[in-house]
Amino acid sequence: MGKGYSYVCSKCGKNFDVFLGIGMMFPVIYRRTIEEIKSGKYGEEWKKIFNSQPYTATNAHKYLYKCKNCGYWEESKELSLYVPNDLESFPKTQFGIKTVEEWGYVPYVTEIELKYDYHLIKRYIHKCPKCGKTMNQATEKNEFLTLSCPDCGALAKREGELMWD
């Protein structure tokens, strides 16, 4: 399930929304993210690490990332890489109507599965496209109260929350 926030800019009046988490299209988004990693969209190092072990997974859930240096923010997939805790028995894991071995791949991996059935092999560091500094994942409620307007940069106030899918 996803969560969203609606904002309105205090200066220009622009309304914008931020959508985080996952929705019903998550299996499609997850496969697309895997293909992007394999094609090198996130860099050759990420591609190499991803292909270094069987059944490597990523966290394709969307989060809000904020730059403490310049205030830029964006919605982005988490993208860290994980491998199953038990590689030996993992291919026999039932995944829907088939086992992972029968599929030949893992169709998708949720955040809860990453927490209990996988371990982290490489954390993805989000870099600010404006200033190049490291961006941090917004985790505290107060970090979601105000954001800068994507048009004029002025402070925008959160007007509401919504749940989707």
Whether pLDDT at 126 is above 90: yes
Average pLDDT estimate for 16-36: 92
Across the range 56-85, mean pLDDT stands at 94
Task: Give me the torsion for CA of 99, 22, 127, 159, rounded to 10°.
Answer: -170
Q: How confident is the model at residue 66 (pLDDT cuts 50, 70, 90)?
A: very high
- Tokens (6 digits) for 152: 């004029």
DSSP H or E run through 92: none
pLDDT reading at 165 higher than 80: no
Strand, coil or helix: what is 110? coil
Phi, psi angle pair for 116, to nearest 5° = -105, -30
The answer to whether the pTM exceeds 0.85 is: yes
Distance of alpha carbon 110 from alpha carbon 26, whole angstroms: 9
Q: Classify residue 111 by its DSSP letter.
A: H
Lowest mean pLDDT among 89-98, 132-141, 156-165: 156-165
Strand partners for 158: 7
Q: How much is the pLDDT for 124?
A: 97
Cα Rg, the chain, nearest whole Å? 18
Query: pLDDT band at 117, cuts 50/70/90?
Result: very high
Separation between Cα atoms, residue 19 and residue 108, nearest integer Å: 20
Is residue 155 helix, strand or coil? strand
